[in-house]
Amino acid sequence: MVTIKSKREIELMREACRVVALTYEELEKKIKPGMSTWELDQIAEKKMRSLGAIPAEKGYDIGIKGVPKYPATLCVSINDEVIHGIPSKNKIIKEGDIVSIDTVALKDGFNGDAARTFIIGNVSKETKRLVDVTKQAFFEGIKYAKPGNRIGDVSHAIGEYVRSQGYSVVREFQGHGIGREMHEDPGIPNYGKAGRGIRLEPGMTLAIEPMVIQGKPNILELDDGWTIITEDGSLSAHYENTILITEKEPEILTIL
């Protein structure tokens, strides 16, 4: 079911999303080579709780038999890891890495969701371009996030932009509606046909999240049941914000 948020609910969405933005502000300051992804997770959890929020990914149940509940505040996916990398004391961030972080804050019953890819020190021009294109793909998509347009218009814009830049979008995972639930309808693929899917309406809150691979689009899942990696070993980046559909331009709720 696609939920339309009331004025009051939009205020609560704004606040949950602000927590996510503040968490990224903190992570951006602290992320350094030599740190473990577990340390990053601790920083994020502390920040969220200090702002009266709960890390919503912690304990998240994907609903597949045998897959444990997600154990952490952050997903931290380094280089060829696409999404859902589990923080660990043994995973150390190095100079030259790209580190994709995805997190969700739950505050007063509402969820805010965003992802960023951080560049650690010096990387090649081509790696920097991957990270830039992934972010830009989100902005290309939300140009169409207006009443009257359809979800497919957003999906199509993202997919075509990424393709035009010589990269691939991940097909098995997608953006989503968000509100009281982390994942609500509609699903928002990062590719598709313009003119298809539900019509956008003011009061919808959506998490739009291009996941981009430098090489082929194929992915693999590791034995931990969570971590997704690229099949060809090429790099992957992720960028996501929660947005609000308004009468005019969309509002990006997870940017301060």
Q: Which residues of this chain interact with ligand MF3, rule CB under 6 A?
A: 57, 60, 70, 75, 84, 102, 104, 113, 207, 209, 240
154: tokens are 């957003």
80 lies in the binding site for Co ion (CB under 5 A)? no
Residues 6+ apart with CB under 8 A from 139: none
By beta-carbon proximity to ligand MF3, the closer residue of 60 and 139 is 60
Taking the C-alpha atoms of residue 93 and residue 117, their distance in angstroms, rounded to an integer, is: 13
Select the residue interacting with Co ion from 41, 80, 113, 251 (CB under 5 A).
113
By beta-carbon proximity to ligand MF3, the closer residue of 15 and 57 is 57
Taking the C-alpha atoms of residue 50 and residue 256, their distance in angstroms, rounded to an integer, is: 17
Mark the segment that binds Co ion (CB under 5 A) among 64-72, 76-84, 166-174, 202-210.
Answer: 202-210
By beta-carbon proximity to ligand MF3, the closer residue of 31 and 114 is 114
By beta-carbon proximity to Co ion, the closer residue of 39 and 140 is 140
Closest contact distance (angstroms) between CB of 124 and ligand MF3 is 27
By beta-carbon proximity to ligand MF3, the closer residue of 2 and 123 is 2
Among Co ion, ligand MF3, none, what binds residue 60 when CB lies within 5 to 8 Å by partner kind?
A: ligand MF3
Among ligand MF3, Co ion, none, what binds residue 184 when CB lies within 5 to 8 Å by partner kind?
A: none
What residues from 215 to 234 belong to the interface with Co ion (CB under 5 A)? none
Taking the C-alpha atoms of residue 19 and residue 21, their distance in angstroms, rounded to an integer, is: 5
Taking the C-alpha atoms of residue 127 and residue 235, their distance in angstroms, rounded to an integer, is: 8
Give the residue at shortest CB distance from Co ion. Answer: 207
Q: H or E stretch including 82?
A: strand 81-83
Q: How many secondary structure helices (H) and strands (E) does the chain include?
A: 4, 15
207 lies in the binding site for Co ion (CB under 5 A)? yes
Taking the C-alpha atoms of residue 193 and residue 203, their distance in angstroms, rounded to an integer, is: 24
| Single-letter amino acid code for the residue at 222 | L
56 lies in the binding site for Co ion (CB under 5 A)? no
Taking the C-alpha atoms of residue 76 and residue 84, their distance in angstroms, rounded to an integer, is: 7
Number of residues that bind Co ion (CB under 5 A): 3
Give the residue carrying structure tokens 């961030």: 93
Residues in touch with Co ion (CB under 5 A): 113, 207, 209
